[in-house]
């Protein structure tokens, strides 16, 4: 049972890493360059951002679930298997970063989009967006 749990845990971490690669390396460049790929779409960067935000809203279901499972697994493993404190710290960091993206950065970006393009031009939004990009890179 212990090996099965570890296998599922490692599979979930692999799914997380793979999804981060696909989103960052494939989806984001295509969405933000959609108007050059299909000129008839005539998407503005604001519209591309709204489209990307909807992709992240759907991805957040997976990210939140994985974040919760990572936290749960690492805490249980630390308590019952007496694993190293380093594993616990790294697992809690991964889980916390997942949940931070789901419950803080995504709602912030969605609210800024509701306000309109002017909110997206602010220094505060640029800083928050840069932080969310950094968080995604750290998760990987």
pTM metric for this prediction: 0.85
**Per-residue pLDDT tens for 25-62?**
899 999 988 888 888 888 888 889 899 999 999 999 99
Q: Measured between alpha carbons, how far is 38 from 17 in angstroms, rounded to an integer?
A: 29
Residue 1 pLDDT level (bands cut at 50, 70, 90): low
Query: Domain spans of the chain?
Result: 2-139
Looking at residue 7, its pLDDT comes to 92
Average pLDDT over residues 116-134: 88
| 102-118: pLDDT as tens digits | 999 999 999 999 988 88
* Through-space distance between the first and last CA atoms of the chain, rounded to whole angstroms: 28
- The DSSP-derived string for 43-58 is --HHHHHHHHHHHHHH
């Amino acid at each position: 049972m212990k090996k099965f749990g570890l296998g599922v845990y490692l599979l979930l971490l692999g799914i997380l890493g793979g999804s981060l690669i696909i989103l960052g390396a494939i989806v984001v460049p295509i969405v933000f360059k959609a108007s050059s790929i299909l000129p008839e779409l005539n998407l503005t960067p604001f519209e591309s951002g709204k489209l990307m935000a909807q992709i992240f809203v759907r991805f957040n279901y997976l990210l939140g679930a994985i974040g919760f499972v990572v936290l749960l697994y690492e805490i249980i493993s630390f308590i019952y298997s007496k694993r190293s404190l380093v594993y616990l710290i790294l697992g809690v960091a991964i889980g916390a970063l997942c949940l931070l993206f789901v419950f803080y950065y995504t709602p912030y970006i969605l609210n800024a989009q509701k306000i309109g393009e002017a909110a997206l031009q602010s220094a505060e939004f640029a800083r928050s967006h840069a932080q969310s990009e950094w968080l995604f890179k750290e998760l990987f």
